[in-house]
Amino acid sequence: MIIDFRSDTVTKPTPAMLEAMYKAKVGDDVFGEDPSINELEKMAAEMFAMETALFCPSGTMVNQIAIKCHTQPGDEVICDESSHVYQYESGGIAFNSSASVKLLYGDRGRITAEQLKAAINPDDNHKAISRLVSLENTSNRGGGSCYDFEEIKKIKAVCKENNLALHLDGARLWNALVAKNETPKQYGEIFDSISICLSKSLGCPVGSLLLGKNAFIKKARRIRKVFGGGMRQAGFLAAAGIYALQNNIDRLSDDHLHTKEIANVLIKREFVKYLLPVETNIIIFEMSDSLSAPALVTKLKENDILCFDIAPDRVRFVVHLDIRPEMVKKTIETINKL
Ligand SMILES: *Cc1c(COP(=O)(O)O)cnc(C)c1O
């Protein structure tokens, strides 16, 4: 039994999800004729009370399309230094949008309205035009940290005053919604565009959605084609998404419980110096001098437990749909014996 905590992207479709995929009605989505994709886009838009949605192959693609649609070359995107859009999308903001980036140093990936206010460029020829703010909820590098919704509202007010668009990288928004008892509609009301992943905590093999207004998504559909993301009979993938939205959201509280159980054991071990507060399905901890991060990863691997060293002194565990209670039990036993 391999216990894989490397990422919530490693999940495999369950028999029930595969059955939904197998039975999907499909058509050519570039022609707008795939009934399953149309259904998924409509379903997601309704959940968030946003006008419409666009199905894409990856979370990176939906973020990059959104940034491309919101900006002109030379404009500035404001985001936290740890953001996925900046750290893990292969320099895509520069490559795809020729946009500049202003990095803010927030608390575990979360910026404040005050920080944002101070970062907006004045109307001055020397300066890039501040155009777009991108938030991430939950924050991956922040250890699955969640925004306080009141702060998001304040950030929105600053965006409004300064004519800035507001994008949400919600690859793990589902985890935040469950952890904070929030609704998709709250987010739909505030953001100009939202990216959500189906292939992370919801257990789909492939797929992400971009949500926004009709005119915005019309433009996004064109950019998706330019980026090579216009798929044909991808309704088989959309059917997995529909299944996931109907069945796999509420169960995230189990993942959060499992995450806390494992964290509670880790924190007692002398090789752990500091553990980031655990809010959802991610554990990030700093190693003490007695053991390096790669050494711990190797030791765990010898016990069939996989995780990543995300820095020489930092390790990350991500809990997900395929981590069953008996795996949590074995992980806890192993950590206690190390
Ligand atoms: C994984 C992730 C993405 C991108 O997802 P891919 O489907 O792997 O491209 C975007 N944002 C965040 C915060 C993520 O964790």
Convert the pLDDT of each residue in 259-311 to its tens digit. 999 999 999 999 999 999 999 999 999 999 999 999 999 999 999 999 999 99
Can you tell me which atom of ligand 1 is nearest the CA of 199? 7
Alpha-carbon torsion, ordered 252, 151, 136, 314, to 10 deg? -80
User: Which of the four pLDDT bands, split at 50, 70 and 90, describes residue 257?
Assistant: very high
Q: Is 136 in the pocket of ligand 1 (CB under 6 A)?
A: yes
Can you tell me which atom of ligand 1 is nearest the CA of 136? 13
Q: Is 7 in the pocket of ligand 1 (CB under 6 A)?
A: no
Domain layout of the chain by residue ranges: 15-247, 251-337
Topology adopted by domain 15-247: Aspartate Aminotransferase; domain 2 (3.40.640)
Centre of ligand 1 from the C-alpha of residue 126, in Å? 33
Q: How far apart are CA 261 and CA 29, in angstroms?
A: 43
Q: Is 280 in the pocket of ligand 1 (CB under 6 A)?
A: no
Can you identify the CATH homologous superfamily of domain 251-337?
A: Aspartate Aminotransferase, domain 1 (3.90.1150.10)
Question: Using CA positions, which residue lies closest to atom 14 of ligand 1?
Answer: 171
Looking at residue 110, its pLDDT comes to 98
- Pull the structure tokens for residue 9: 């992207």
Q: What is the mean pLDDT of residues 171-184?
A: 98
Q: Above pLDDT 70, what percent of the chain?
A: 100
Q: Is 175 in the pocket of ligand 1 (CB under 6 A)?
A: no
Looking at residue 87, its pLDDT comes to 97
**Which of 185, 206, 157, 169 has the alpha carbon at shortest distance from 58?**
206
Convert the pLDDT of each residue in 102-139 to its tens digit. 999 999 999 999 999 999 999 999 999 999 999 999 99
pTM assigned to the model: 0.97
Question: Using CA positions, which residue lies closest to atom 4 of ligand 1?
Answer: 59
Q: 200, 210, 224: which to mutate for ligand 1, most atoms within 8 A of CB? A: 200
Indicate the SS3 state at residue 68. helix
Q: Is 59 in the pocket of ligand 1 (CB under 6 A)?
A: yes
Q: Is 140 in the pocket of ligand 1 (CB under 6 A)?
A: yes
Looking at residue 201, its pLDDT comes to 87
